[in-house]
């Protein structure tokens, strides 16, 4: 058995408006908002690193959980933008937490990595104890703010999120998850030679089909109707995609938490940043099912179902 115990996050101070981005990519702020639902995003400082911001989110999560790093049985870090591929940021975050031998694994899966981490953590927690999952991205260094890179560069921002999966207690019990991979379509979403590449229309088409199917499959396994889900926490890829998923599931749109307007698409960090912000806004205990879902490079996608304790 495994539980969602706490979330945490960290965001850079620098706010980058659509006006600033539009001037660089030869677009209008109104067009960016219409295409993405984004009004502004955050960019990391030159001195920030993926491991550094991930460490800040990890500490925030542990503080909110009332836990210490010494209690962790494992760390998993998702990132598609780390400065160094191997070893990735996981070992650096473990060192920053003062850990000398705790296993720390990297998940180089842009956008969907934190969901993969949560799903794996739910299976590993009974054996490993508390598992910390971190998503940390500095995507502003992986995009081209030029007219040629317009379709992808308007989306992305920087930030980090974290979640603590506990084998003993939490605010929600993880019931099940489902993960999928379609390697034949992997080229439509990739990071190569340090630059992010995305076929926007193809990604939108694939994600708008695959995410609802994954969620429906998971809910059907446990005889849960989408209309009964208390909250949907999705990777904040594009507001139009979130609206399509809500329509496909025939679930109330207001149950789909979204903060993409303020932070943009922070890749693997976005699911956990959204979860942390959603959790901080809750004034009452969870009373119904909770669904988390993401779609990203690989292509990898899936969903996770949790219920109140």
Tell me the per-residue pLDDT of 84-131, one tens digit each, with 9 for 90 and over: 988 999 999 999 999 999 999 999 999 999 999 999 999 999 999 999
> What value does the mean pLDDT take over residues 232-251?
97
- Pick from 206, 218, 232, 201: nearest CA to 297: 206
Q: Which tokens sit at 59?
A: 């500490």
Query: Rounded distance, CA 126 to CA 20, Å?
Result: 48
pLDDT digits (tens, 9 = 90+) for 257-285: 999 999 999 999 999 999 999 999 998 89
| Residue recorded with tokens 């703010």 | 145
* 78: phi then psi, degrees, rounded to nearest 5: -100, 130
CB-based contact 122:2 (threshold 8 Å): yes
> How high is the pLDDT of residue 190?
83
The DSSP output letter for 70 is G
**Three-state secondary structure call for residue 238:** coil
CB-based contact 302:112 (threshold 8 Å): yes
- Pick from 50, 62, 48: nearest CA to 8: 62
Q: In angstroms, what CA-CA distances link 3 with 123, 131, 277? A: 11, 10, 18
Kindly calculate the radius of gyration of the chain based on its CA atoms and give it in whole angstroms. 18
CATH fit for domain 1-309, picks 3.40.630.10, 3.30.300.180, 3.40.50.10680, 3.40.47.10: 3.40.47.10
Q: How far apart are the first and last CA of the chain?
A: 12
Q: Does the predicted TM-score (pTM) go above 0.85?
A: yes
Q: Please state at what angle helix 270-281 crosses helix 50-65, rounded to 10 degrees.
A: 30
Query: Rounded distance, CA 249 to CA 307, Å?
Result: 19
Q: In angstroms, what CA-CA distances link 197 with 21, 135, 144, 188, 270? A: 18, 20, 10, 7, 18
> How high is the pLDDT of residue 200?
82
The DSSP output letter for 265 is B
Element (H, E) at 240: helix 239-249
Q: How confident is the model at residue 196 (pLDDT cuts 50, 70, 90)?
A: confident
- Signed CA dihedral, 7, 246, 111, 48: sign only: negative
pLDDT digits (tens, 9 = 90+) for 25-59: 999 999 999 999 999 999 999 999 999 999 999 99
| Residue 295, pLDDT above cutoff 90 | yes
């Amino acid at each position: 058995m495994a539980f969602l115990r706490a979330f945490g996050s960290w965001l850079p101070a620098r706010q980058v408006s659509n006006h600033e981005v539009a001037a660089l990519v030869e677009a209008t702020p109104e067009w960016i908002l219409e295409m993405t639902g984004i009004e502004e995003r955050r960019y990391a400082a030159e001195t920030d690193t993926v491991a550094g911001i991930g460490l800040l989110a990890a500490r925030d999560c542990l503080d909110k959980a009332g836990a210490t790093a010494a209690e962790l049985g494992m760390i998993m870090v998702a990132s598609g933008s780390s400065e160094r591929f191997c070893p990735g940021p996981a070992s650096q975050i473990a060192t920053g937490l003062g850990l000398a031998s705790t296993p720390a694994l990297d998940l180089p899966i842009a956008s969907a990595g934190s969901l993969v981490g949560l799903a794996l953590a739910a299976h590993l927690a009974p054996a490993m104890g508390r598992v910390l999952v971190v998503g940390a991205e500095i995507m502003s260094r992986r995009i081209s703010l030029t007219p040629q890179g317009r379709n992808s560069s308007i989306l992305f921002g920087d930030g980090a999120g974290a979640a603590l999966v506990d084998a003993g207690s939490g605010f929600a019990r993880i019931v099940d998850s489902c993960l999928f991979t379609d390697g034949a379509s992997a080229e439509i979403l990739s990071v190569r030679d340090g630059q992010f590449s995305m076929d926007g229309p193809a990604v939108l088409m694939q994600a708008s089909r695959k995410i609802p199917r994954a969620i429906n499959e998971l809910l059907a396994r446990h005889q849960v109707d989408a209309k009964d889900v208390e909250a949907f926490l999705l990777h904040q890829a594009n507001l139009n995609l979130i609206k399509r998923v809500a329509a496909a599931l025939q679930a109330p749109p207001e149950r789909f938490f979204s903060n993409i307007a303020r932070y943009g698409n922070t890749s693997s960090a976005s699911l956990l940043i959204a979860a942390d912000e959603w959790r901080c806004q809750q004034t009452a205990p969870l009373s119904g099912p909770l669904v988390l879902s993401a779609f990203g490079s690989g292509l990898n996608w899936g969903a996770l179902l949790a219920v109140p304790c």
